[in-house]
Chains A and B, each alone.
Chain A
Amino acid sequence: MRVLLRNPSREIEIAGRRRVHALLTELGLNRESHLIIRNGTLVPGDGLLEADDVIEIRPVISGGS
């Protein structure tokens, strides 16, 4: 699957299917600080991502106070 990451914006390829929580763990990302979006729709932690999916992993932490 094609995965869009942010800050900085970049794309990576992941081979095969994954559950969302497994993908986040694999990439070392905390579920509490990211959303997974596929075709404009959120995917929950146990959602299954297919090998040909294009997804965005969107960080939600902002730094201002």
Chain B
Amino acid sequence: MPDVGSKCRVCKQPAIIDLPRHNANFCAEHFLELCRRQVVKAIDQFDMLTKDDRILVAVSGGKDSLAVWDMLLELGYHADGLYIGLGIGDYSDISGDYARAFAAARGLKLIEIKLRDEYGYDIPTAARATRRVPCSACGLSKRHLFDKAALDGGYTVLVTGHNLDDEAAVLLGNTLRWEIGYLARQLPVLPARDGLPKKVKPLVRLTERETAAWCVVRGIDYLVDECPMAAGNRHLGHKETLNAIEAQSPGSKAAFYLNFLERMAPLLAAHAEQERDALQTCNQCGAPSGGELCAFCRLVVTSSQHEPVPVELIMRGGRNRR
């Protein structure tokens, strides 16, 4: 079996990665160049960032958040990191170690918030106390604390590591249920408004295979293991469905999401505006809210009064999840 090996589309040197959606293979140097180009294109196309922005990157210790932080620094942006200790057992301890190691090795500022220390609860306990799906309690907590940390710290933009697969999977889920409100808000840039910072997703043109490959090529250590509470969730199911389609028809994920942004999102803009105008202000924390008390403050009240619940009791598939 002769090893002819694929060649880089640009320089014809041996390739390290095949990207079927581009119908091409790339060496390390030109793969990184492709990733940079896609991120710059997203930033420019959606007016995400300027070099004068004070940027806060939400960092989990996983591939996407570390990759986006690395890319922004490489592109000449100034960015601090924000890590939230979610209290998901060993998983959180290890993820924090990766985030800290990345920041320390590069002399970067990493802000840390521990849910248990500062709000009196953790995600397993919140899932049990509120009877929410763990990923729902986690997402609600993170979104609120990201916003608050960005505003409190005087940052002009909050960056998250959502990639093309994340966005396409959410889009699929929202489309399957025709969640018009969620569809109207599913944009790569959400502008700042009272109580909310500007939020941007520079990785929306890169798949998670590409962000993971970026980390491997750049020598970035990240937490590979999956969150024990996310295993088997609906979001992962949607990703697997889309990847099965992608295997048959490369480029489908990008077309699904990027064409939504170009052709469908503008038709939903008026709906998004109406929803924003209908929001009140939370009596307790001042954040935008659908009622007198926002969902996060309600979660804190309920969860902080509950006895701590170990993650093993909440892990998906466990008999004692609820």
- A interface residues, Cβ below 8 angstroms from B: 6-7, 9, 17, 30-35, 37, 40-48, 58-65
Contact = CB atoms under 8 A, between A and B. Distances in A.
A33 B5 contact: no
A20 to B, nearest CB: 9
Given A32-B207, A35-B212, A48-B5, A62 B62 contact: yes
B128 interface: no
Given A33-B240, A42-B216, A44-B15, A61 B5 contact: no
Contacts of A65: 135, 139, 166, 169-170, 235
B190 to A, nearest CB: 15
B3 interface: yes
Contacts of B15: 44
A61 B236 contact: yes
B216 A62 contact: no
Binding site of B, secondary structure by majority: helix, strand, loop or mixed? Answer: helix
B16 A41 contact: yes
Interface of B: 1, 3-6, 15-18, 20, 25, 28, 60, 62-64, 135, 138-139, 165-166, 169-170, 207-209, 211-213, 216-217, 219, 224-227, 230-231, 233, 235-236, 239-240, 243-244, 246-247
Q: Which 7 A-B pairs have the closest CB atoms?
A: A63-B230, A60-B212, A48-B3, A45-B18, A42-B16, A32-B243, A44-B18
19 contacts: A6-B224, A31-B20, A32-B207, A32-B247, A34-B209, A35-B213, A35-B216, A42-B216, A46-B6, A48-B1, A48-B5, A60-B63, A60-B208, A60-B209, A62-B226, A63-B235, A64-B139, A64-B235, A65-B135
Contacts of B207: 32
B243 to A, nearest CB: 4
A36 B134 CA distance: 31
